[in-house]
Amino acid sequence: MTNDGMKIPQATAKRLPLYYRFLLNLHSSGKQRVSSAELSEAVKVDSATIRRDFSYFGALGKKGYGYNVNYLLTFFRKTLDQDELTKVGLIGVGNLGTAFLNYNFSKNNNTKIKIAFDVDPNKVGTQIGDVPVYHMDDLDKVLIEEGIQVAILTVPSTVAQSITDRLVQANVKGILNFTPARLNVPTSIRIHHIDLAVELQSLIYFLKHYPTDAEITEVEE
């Protein structure tokens, strides 16, 4: 939602964290304005799209001036609830899960994995990158106690659906699913699937069908 309650298109909303991170860097380097061309170069989104995205929240860049970095940051902070920390739970501390715990979104100060769960006795009771690993038996209790409503799923796909059902029972509202399983959830729950194979195929498709030179010309238009 924008400040006046208008809904931002989903595609635009997905790009906001990208813009936000880059603007934060600009801000900390003392820069006060940015042009859509500079932004475009940094975040690899064409400048026409950036201008359209920004027009949704009333940031109309002036020719020869660009956008005011502070104004944009204030807007993004509100829109993305950057002032509020969202606590995230991670289920499945294997190869992928461990990598996420070590990384733990250190560049974002608004999201943090607080708790992890697994069934492996070698992992339960340990801490990885400051995050305690609990047994799955405690899933519902701990998630509810901690008020965690967002979960990352990095378990084998065979157990993904039954764990998802438990997450829903434990009041989780959003799930980032890294397993190849397609999960069924009530319509009130939001699931985002991240399938690296699909992403890779899509990259290869674009390389074949949209040569990069053509893309550059498009950006400059």
Q: Name the residue whose CB lies closest to ligand NAD.
A: 94
- Which residues does 94 contact at the CB level (< 8 Å), separation at least 6? 118, 154, 155
Rounded least distance, CB 50 to ligand NAD, Å: 30
Which 170-209 positions form the footprint of ligand NAD (CB under 6 A)? 178-180, 196
> In this structure, what token pair is assigned to residue 94?
């294997």
66 assigned binding-site residue: no
Q: At what angle do helices 69-79 and 10-28 cross, to 10 degrees?
A: 130
Q: What residues between 129 and 168 interact with ligand NAD by CB under 6 A?
A: 136, 154-157, 159, 163
Q: Which of 23, 80, 90, 93 binds ligand NAD (CB under 6 A)?
A: 93
Instruction: For residues 172 and 170, give the distance between their C-alpha atoms in angstroms, rounded to a whole number.
Output: 6
Q: How many residues bind ligand NAD (CB under 6 A)?
A: 23
Is 95 a binder of ligand NAD (CB under 6 A)? yes
Angle between helical axes of 36-43 and 10-28 (0-180°, round to 10): 100
Residue 161 CA: distances (Å) to CA of 118, 140, 166: 15, 15, 9
Q: Find all residues with CB under 8 Å of 18, minimum gap 6, and list them.
A: 43, 45
43 is in an annotated binding site: no
For ligand NAD, the closer CB: 176 or 189:
176
Q: Using CB under 6 A as the criterion, which residues of the chain lie in contact with ligand NAD when the complex forms?
A: 91-97, 117-120, 123, 136, 154-157, 159, 163, 178-180, 196
Residue numbers belonging to the annotated binding site for NAD(+): 92-97
